[in-house]
Amino acid sequence: MKRFLSLLTVAILAGILTLGAYKVFLEPEPTVITESESKPNVFPTTYTVANSNTYPVNAGADFTVAAEKTVNAVVHVKQYGVSRTPRNLMEYLRNGGAEERRIQGAGSGVIITEDGYIVTNNHVIDGATDLEVTLNNNKSYKAEVIGTAPQSDIALIKIDADEKLSYIPFGDSNSAKIGEWVLAVGNPFNLTSTVTAGIISAKSRDLNERDNNTQSFIQTDAAINPGNSGGALVNVNGELIGINTAITSQTGSYVGYAFAVPSNNARKIVEDILEFGDVQRGIIGITGGTINSKAMEEYNIATSQGVFVASVAEKSGAKKAGIKEGDVIKEIDGLPIRKFADLTGYVNSKRPKDVINIKVLRKNEEIVFPVTLSKYEIQSYNIDDVGVEVVNPPKDYLKKFSLDHGVVISKALSSRMKRYNLEGLIISEIDGKKVKSVLEVKEIIENKYKDEDITISLIDRNGEKREFVFQ
């Protein structure tokens, strides 16, 4: 009996050990799925963060031709600058701020001409004192900034190479379709010349969480991670249909949602910078918004898609063409308009004086109006952190100071600034960037971080340049 009990005990212990070993060494880790009610954050894709998720693509799809056409035309962009952000409380208390220190960031860029013009994101090069571009063949060049469009997060830079460069031709982003295969080419996590594939998940996507401007992005599930910013989104023909710009994620790494500035918008910005020196923005001259159930009921609208016209500006192209309050915009140049981002995305690819055909629904009747776009201008802007209001300079005013750029201080806003006689003085640069209009001032200021210093270059009445830093 004792022998039987001993054998039984040994058998039980052996079973426990076997089960334990299975649980520890053989049983797979459980998959934990969590749900969160918090809203995902949208990250510019130049930040360095850990972990990355990717999704497999159809094994039967062949992207080798598109990859071969584009991989040599996407470059690695490194920017060097100076940061004055305090690293800790002791540094802040000791210096009353922070010591200047050299910082480095990295992103991607797309060669668009064989002589070295490169499109990238503004946030990739913003604040840089030096830019270095490395080609796929490992050759490196210094780059200069030709122009920027902070509101659209696009920048144009140039290198002087000793050879003709591979480049990617622009495609028509308006023709791109949801479900179409695309490739993202860039340098995520400093892994140069990386190609990922996916489809176009949505178009005219507006990321209001990202800034206060109505945007119109192409959404894709091609894997995009930190370092991909400024890289290429191309179709299967190897044509550029977007500039990769942002991801939405709770971790900062790719989770299936990535966004690109449409190529038609990027191309128009580049052409404006080269021809005019800045971005020429055309506007219809209306205020309004995407139709919703409340608007349908309140204004007795028979359609659930389109842009409702809430008001029409006097002397605008819309007013002159005959568009009225209460109209619903359904199409522009044959392109269906389902929401406000569809409208802004298309209009942002046009210039002042361009004529577009707008189809509206008015009392269940469809009418087409040819509308001439007018130039988007603002008359004044308050730089609150500095304490002044600025306006565009009167005609020939800048010539008195031998300047071809700058805005004029019209009045002081803060009690501190009212002590000085600032009216009529010229602000020529902000943070080292030349400003040619109030709109450029607005774009620079509104794209700065909340606690970032502002450096103002002021031209005094004797024509001398002085710099002031506002914290």
Please identify every residue annotated as catalytic: 123, 153, 229
- Could you tell me the CA-to-CA distances from 135 to 78, 104, 165 in Å, in that order? 11, 18, 9
**What do you get for the CA distance between the two ends of the chain, in Å?**
89
Coil, helix or strand at residue 268: helix
Give Cα separations from 279 to 117, 149, 171, 309, 426 (angstroms).
Answer: 17, 7, 20, 26, 22
How far is the C-alpha of 39 from the C-alpha of 41, rounded, in Å?
6
| Chain CA centroid to CA 148, Å | 12
Alpha helices (H) along 22-175: 64-70, 89-95, 122-125
Sort 13 into a burial class: Cβ within 10 Å, 0-12 / 13-18 / 19+. Answer: exposed
In whole angstroms, give the CA distance from residue 118 to residue 138: 16
Whose structure tokens read 């290198």? 159
One-letter amino acid identity for 451? Answer: D
| Chain mean position to CA 423 | 35
Those residues whose C-beta lies under 8 Å from the C-beta of residue 276, and which sit 6 or more positions away, are none
Residue 140 and residue 133 in contact, taking contact as beta carbons nearer than 8 Å: yes
Residue located via tokens 């945007």: 215
